[in-house]
């Protein structure tokens, strides 16, 4: 059997996303709006399979054919007859549920490959003897021949997502290196093109020179009539002695399906902002235009307090090894009014709280653009995983001048905070009950501060194409050096393009640090209903949760490549390092031996020193993070951040040794079963499923009832068209 790092255990937690009450409170029109947005999100979310690994679309197609022909219970009888044990069949169900949940065969949280925890030969027997193989023998055998070997392979380069020799990615062709990625980013910057909806493919011409294709995601693949937005960009270029060609049409049939449902959703929009938002999203996905998506995002920002909230597109860049390309995601959710009221009070206090952050006023936005901040119950979240909170849009120019929205996903938070005492690791016994009681409430406070005042704070110093500065470059002083500002963002440069591989983690670290720093404020805690001893317990558990998370983060560090595979966890490790270096016994991590005789560890936080030692250390670190971000000082920013993110076996903590302990005692991330909506006549029905691997599989079997086989054919056709870029599968 495979190393436990690379399997999903049979007892993995599986839970159902409960949105029944919020959905039933929607009006018939709101339900129709939510339904078509959900359909658009689920169709578009299939693109993630093509963004993950060369084999992911084939694995998805194979699993879908198996379970469409026989549901999990029917297939179980066949599998047991073929000689599988109950445990082996359950391992297969868990694997299949994992592929659906992560939209591919790499974990969305950590980017580690997972493989079936049963012998390949046994799974092959089940597949070849299945009803699907009887109905379509050539298709099923063909899919298995393409993906069977890769499904199980743990060749070192295939264990993690990454670029070149570091791992697998389909954002770039297999022959691309980090140098190619940097060159392509410079090219995109020179043309004022965003990388968010692109992939990069490199081929070598007859003269032996590299030629790069920058492919935009769009429905259209041929040049439209002149005058349309993207026409002038679709051509060949010479850049720094290299050949570039900008094309489009990536994921075209999938995006076409998404566009069709966005068009239908327009008929049920609640207002002009929603209509215009959807029109621009349609334009973006049709033309391949990020500028159109930005226009749609402007209307989305202006749509204050909708009952049905949604966002869709190429959004988060965590899984691009270079940190610039967005993974497709789409969510649809309904407002939770009780928790939203608390967030509204936090927003009302935001301008005052921003003044408490440890950087000069010049490093803050000229004007705080009051955002929406709502707690939502998720109906649909299509993509590779579901976060607990979101601050969007990610476009720096919009965030700096027009605003943003914050959302806390209440029903996701409820699942994330469900903790069993017996599975709680790396804490002192006397901390466990307090931790269980206050983890949920403290996390709500942290998410609120993280999203609103973490991601929502700070100014980027920039100079536009006309040479105009957005700050007084002769008067603003760098508080770290006492000198004038020496660096800033030039026209075409963004936070992601400039800080690239560390951008996401650095920004998550900044936002997490803001949350820890401001949770010490009594006003914040009162907003969430905590005073006196309860408030002190919330602070303690919030800080304790962060330092424990910093230790757990070691699971997502790869010693062989000396890199991190998950931005949020790298950020939390960095904060742990900062607090450890504060000294005076504020935080200690002590190796020990568990009751089972195996290595263990304990995290201790001295609550009496949080304000006297922790706060000053965090304040100094947070100020440095913001100053380096504001000024675009990549060299100093990398030196600071990568210094704290380094993992060694130096005493006293010996983090590499602790990593082995963390892997030994890790608990797999829960799988979440999402509902479906179905249109029956003019009414929308909510379809819910049991909290099990079989229930999750069933939810996907019923996700595309009209065109499942067609979609599988589309996915495999698109994958085969690009197979040459990775050498396999063919």
Q: Among 563, 574, 572, 577, which Cα is nearest to 501's? A: 563
Rounded to 5 degrees, φ, ψ at 125 are: -60, -40
Place of tokens 């006549």: 681
Q: Which two tokens stand for residue 221?
A: 């693949």
Strand partners, 391: 406
Reduced to 3 states (helix: H, G, I; strand: E, B; else coil), residue 487 is coil
Query: 557: part of which helix (H) or strand (E)?
Result: strand 557-558
State how far the Cα of 226 lies from the Cα of 691, in Å rounded to an integer.
Answer: 52
Task: Report the half-sphere exposure of 337 (CA within 13 A, side-chain side).
Answer: 5
State how far the Cα of 334 lies from the Cα of 345, in Å rounded to an integer.
Answer: 19
State how far the Cα of 151 lies from the Cα of 144, in Å rounded to an integer.
Answer: 9
Q: Which residues contact 101 (CB under 8 A, 6 or more apart)?
A: 108, 385, 671, 672, 696
State how far the Cα of 547 lies from the Cα of 652, in Å rounded to an integer.
Answer: 16
State how far the Cα of 694 lies from the Cα of 677, in Å rounded to an integer.
Answer: 19
Reduced to 3 states (helix: H, G, I; strand: E, B; else coil), residue 536 is helix
State how far the Cα of 697 lies from the Cα of 95, in Å rounded to an integer.
Answer: 10
DSSP 140-170: HHHHHHHHHHHHH---GGGSBB-SGGG-B-S
Reduced to 3 states (helix: H, G, I; strand: E, B; else coil), residue 624 is helix
State how far the Cα of 589 lies from the Cα of 457, in Å rounded to an integer.
Answer: 32
713 is catalytic: no
Q: Exactly one of 30, 55, 451, 712 is catalytic; name it.
A: 451
**Does a cis peptide bond (omega within 30 degrees of 0) precede residue 518?**
no
Rounded (5°) CA angle 282-284-290:
155
Name the H helices within 136-251: 137-152, 178-190
DSSP state of 669: P
Strand partners, 160: 112
> Contact at 8 Å (CB) between 371 and 404?
yes
State how far the Cα of 495 lies from the Cα of 395, in Å rounded to an integer.
Answer: 9
DSSP 322-391: TS-PPEEEEEEEEE-HHHHHHHHHHHHTHHHHHTTSSS-GGGS-SS--PPEEEEEEEEEEESS---SEEE
> Contact at 8 Å (CB) between 618 and 578?
yes
Rounded to 5 degrees, φ, ψ at 224 are: -80, -175
Q: Which two tokens stand for residue 600?
A: 């263990």
Task: Report the half-sphere exposure of 456 (CA within 13 A, side-chain side).
Answer: 29
Handedness of CA 640, 644, 645, 650 (dihedral sign): positive
Core vs surface per residue 23-35: b (16+ CB within 10 A) or e: beebeeebbbbbb
Reduced to 3 states (helix: H, G, I; strand: E, B; else coil), residue 15 is strand
Rounded (5°) CA angle 325-108-46:
65
As a residue count, the chain comes to: 730
State how far the Cα of 177 lies from the Cα of 154, in Å rounded to an integer.
Answer: 22
State how far the Cα of 459 lies from the Cα of 471, in Å rounded to an integer.
Answer: 9
> Catalytic residue numbers?
451
């Amino acid at each position: 059997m495979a190393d436990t790092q690379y399997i999903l255990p049979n007892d993995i937690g599986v839970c159902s996303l409960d949105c029944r009450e919020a959905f039933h409170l929607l009006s018939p029109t709101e339900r129709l709006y939510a339904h078509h947005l959900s359909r658009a999100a689920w169709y578009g979310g299939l693109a993630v399979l093509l963004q993950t690994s060369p084999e992911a679309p084939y694995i998805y197609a194979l699993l879908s054919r198996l379970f469409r022909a026989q549901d999990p219970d029917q297939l179980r009888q066949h599998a047991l007859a073929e000689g599988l044990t109950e445990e082996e069949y359950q391992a297969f169900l868990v694997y299949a549920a994992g592929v659906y949940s992560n939209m591919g065969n790499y974990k969305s949280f950590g980017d580690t490959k997972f493989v079936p925890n049963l012998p390949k030969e046994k799974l092959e027997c089940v597949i070849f003897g299945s009803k699907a193989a009887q109905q379509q023998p050539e298709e099923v055998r063909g899919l298995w021949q393409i993906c069977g070997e890769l499904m199980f392979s743990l060749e070192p380069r295939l264990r993690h997502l990454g670029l070149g020799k570091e791992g697998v990615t389909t954002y770039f062709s297999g022959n691309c290196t980090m140098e190619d990625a940097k060159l392509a980013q410079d090219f995109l910057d020179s043309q004022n093109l965003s990388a968010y909806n692109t992939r990069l493919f490199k081929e070598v011409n007859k003269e032996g020179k590299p030629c790069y294709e920058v492919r935009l995601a769009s429905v259209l693949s041929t040049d439209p009539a002149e005058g349309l937005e993207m026409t002038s960009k679709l051509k060949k270029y010479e850049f720094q002695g290299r050949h570039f060609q900008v094309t489009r049409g990536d994921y075209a049939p999938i995006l076409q399906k998404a566009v069709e449902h966005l068009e239908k959703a327009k008929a049920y929009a609640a207002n002009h902002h929603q209509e215009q938002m959807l029109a621009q999203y349609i334009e973006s996905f049709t033309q391949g235009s990020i500028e159109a998506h930005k226009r749609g995002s402007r209307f989305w920002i202006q749509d204050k307090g909708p009952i049905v909230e949604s966002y869709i597109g190429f959004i988060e860049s965590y899984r691009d090894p270079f940190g610039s390309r967005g993974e497709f995601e789409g969510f649809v959710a309904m407002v939770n009014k009780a928790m939203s009221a608390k967030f509204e009070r936090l927003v009302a206090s935001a301008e005052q709280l921003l003044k408490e952050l440890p950087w000069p006023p010049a490093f803050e936005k000229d004007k705080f653009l009051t955002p929406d901040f709502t707690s939502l119950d998720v109906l649909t979240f299509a993509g590779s995983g579901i976060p607990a909170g979101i601050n969007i849009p990610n476009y720096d120019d919009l965030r700096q001048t027009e605003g943003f929205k914050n959302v806390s996903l209440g029903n996701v938070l409820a699942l994330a905070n469900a903790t069993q005492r017996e599975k709680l690791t790396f804490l002192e016994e006397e901390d466990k009950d307090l931790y269980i009681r206050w983890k949920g409430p403290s996390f709500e406070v942290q998410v609120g501060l993280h999203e609103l005042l973490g991601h929502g704070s700070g100014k980027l110093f920039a100079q536009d194409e006309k040479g105009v500065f957005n700050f007084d470059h002769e008067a603003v002083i760098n508080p770290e050096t006492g000198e004038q500002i020496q660096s800033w963002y030039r026209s075409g440069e963004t936070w992601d393009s400039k800080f690239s591989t560390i951008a996401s983690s650095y920004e998550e670290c900044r936002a997490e640090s803001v949350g820890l720093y401001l949770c010490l404020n009594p006003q914040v805690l009162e907003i969430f209903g905590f005073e006196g001893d309860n408030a002190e317990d919330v602070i303690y558990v919030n800080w304790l949760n962060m330092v424990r998370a910093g230790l757990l983060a070691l699971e997502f560090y790869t010693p062989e490549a000396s890199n991190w595979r998950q931005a949020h966890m790298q950020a939390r490790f960095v904060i742990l390092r900062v607090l450890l270096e504060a000294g005076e016994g504020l935080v200690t991590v002590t190796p020990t031996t568990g009751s089972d005789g195996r290595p263990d560890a304990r995290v201790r936080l001295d609550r009496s020193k949080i304000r006297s030692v922790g706060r000053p250390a965090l304040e100094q670190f947070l100020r440095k993070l913001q100053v380096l971000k504001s000024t675009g000082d990549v060299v100093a920013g990398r030196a600071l951040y990568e210094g704290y993110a380094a993992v060694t076996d130096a005493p006293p903590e010996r983090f590499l040794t602790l990593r082995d302990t963390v892997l030994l005692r890790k608990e797999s991330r829960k799988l979440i079963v999402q509902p479906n909506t179905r249109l029956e006549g003019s009414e929308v029905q909510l379809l819910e499923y049991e909290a099990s691997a079989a229930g999750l599989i069933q939810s996907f079997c019923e996700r595309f009832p009209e065109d499942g086989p067609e979609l599988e054919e589309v996915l495999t056709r698109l994958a085969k068209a690009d197979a040459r870029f990775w050498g396999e599968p063919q």
